[in-house]
Amino acid sequence: MIENNWPSYHITAWKNWINDPNGLVYYQGKYHVFYQHHPYEHKWGPMHWGHVISDDLYHWEHLPIALYPDENGTCFSGSAIVDHDNVSGLGKDGIAPLLLFYTADLNGESESQCIAYTLDGINFEKYEGNPILEHSEYRDFRDPKVFYYEPDNAWKMIISVFDHIEIFESTNLLDWNLINTFSTESVINGVWECPDLFPLQFNDETYWVLILSVGPKPGEGSTRTQYFIGDFDGKNFTLLESSNSIRFIDSGLDNYAITSFSETEERIMITWAQNGYYAPATPKYGYCGQLSAPRLPFLFEDISGNLSLGFRPVDLPETINSSELKTHSSEGKMYAELSNKPLLIEFGLDSDANFELELYNDSGETLSFSKEGTELILDRSKALGNIDHEAFQEDFFKIHKAEQKLNEPSNYFIFLDSHLLEIYAENGTNVFTSTIYPKSPLDKAKISESTKAKFIELDTFKPAISVENLAKMNLKEDE
């Protein structure tokens, strides 16, 4: 963990609150990530869209806030597309516009869909015809995900509507028609949010993956993100029989509202790596929450023969300097001394092998990750001394378990950057995303010697924000 407690290679707000990643897109030679943002406090509030850009998905630069609340409401989650053919008519001088689709929430009483657009990726103008979609029946009508479906030569939009998905179609990105709905009972209790729908290949066949985040009320369980595998024909999403069950994308509890980039060759995804239930109670270091490192989703057949979803991290760029730590062994354990830098841990494991990893300090604080038989166990119960929240009275929020997914040798990749821990176990078929809040840095590590693990430290990095862009944040009394 770094001295000032800010992550180096994970997106935070330039100050205060961040939640859902929004509008992930590659535009004019840059990766753009927008995010739900409350710039005034260390908690959720009137939503803006924060904005960062990168050349490599790990070194980020803050740009001015992209969207502010207006007469239609605050700016909830959404997506971004590039209108290459200018079917919207919002382009100019041959420049393809970048369109942001977002939900306007009006005083928590109604929600509608709106558009903002830009020709330079920095300065945004809201469409004069907003809102483009309203709902006469449901108050929870949000988080539009827009994508082009080539077989129909049309754009599709999926929106979460309380307890189902509504599918819309358009040829000009401005006028939308409802063409179908999707619902299933295989969802935990809560309001449906932040859907995504995209194709993935497995064994030369195309499947479609539906991502769905579900938000229970505070105190009624944890927010979780589920996935479903099926087929999409432009109008109907049909589940595979084996996928009509509750399956989570992550065995940790700090993974919500994951969404994918548009305009990239590979399917790249980023998630909100925090839990909204206890996020406001996190230490006040100037920021609240972070997004995950970029991930690549893939399909695989698990140990039971079920088609399942896994994730691999996007490779770190060579521009990040790293150094492998020296280790010593004693009584079947490998030991390493850690500094406050971001840390990678890499090792391979046979399918029938066990191991135990511990990160700890002299104060008795410990984080452990282990495999016992066919069970993977992440225990952060002794690494939460610097956060006080009722959630951590329950083991459910402190100890996370998952069953083995593969019956073959596999690799483990663990990434610790300040308070965020990302574990890609069994080649990424088992993922744990979890935050930790020890009172003192965990500056020692030990692991089963049989793993032959590598401990690699990375140089720290402070995301850039220019004086000019800081001045353009234009914070105002817009609540």
Buried-exposed string 76-111: b where 16+ CB fall within 10 A, e elsewhere: bbbbbbbbeeeebebbeeeebbbbbbbbbbeeeebb
Alpha-carbon distance of 145 to 23, in angstroms, equals 9
| CB neighbour list of residue 73: distance below 8 Å, 6 or more residues apart | 104, 105, 106, 107, 110, 111, 112
Closest among 151, 174, 21, 182 to 99, alpha carbons compared? 174
Alpha-carbon distance of 456 to 12, in angstroms, equals 23
SS (H, E, C) 210-240: EEEEEECCCCCCCCEEEEEEEEECCCCEEEC
Q: Rounded to an integer, what is the distance from CA 467 to the centroid of its chain?
A: 28
| Amino acid at residue number 228 | F
Which of 20, 105, 250, 417 is catalytic? The answer is 20
Alpha-carbon distance of 53 to 45, in angstroms, equals 24
Contact, 305 vs 292, CB < 8 A?
A: no
Closest among 456, 458, 400, 460 to 430, alpha carbons compared? 400
SS (H, E, C) 382-406: ECCCCCCCHHHHCHHHCEEEEECCC
Phi/psi-derived region of residue 194, left when phi > 0, alpha when psi is between -120 and 50, beta in every other case: left
Closest among 270, 212, 278 to 239, alpha carbons compared? 212
The yes-or-no answer on residue 20 being catalytic is: yes
Exposed/middle/buried for 438, CB within 10 Å: 0-12, 13-18, 19+? buried
**Which SS3 state, helix, strand or coil, does residue 131 take?**
coil
> Hey, what are 150's tokens?
């080539």
Alpha-carbon distance of 258 to 269, in angstroms, equals 7
For the chain, give the number of residues: 479
Alpha-carbon distance of 240 to 144, in angstroms, equals 24
Residues classed as catalytic:
20
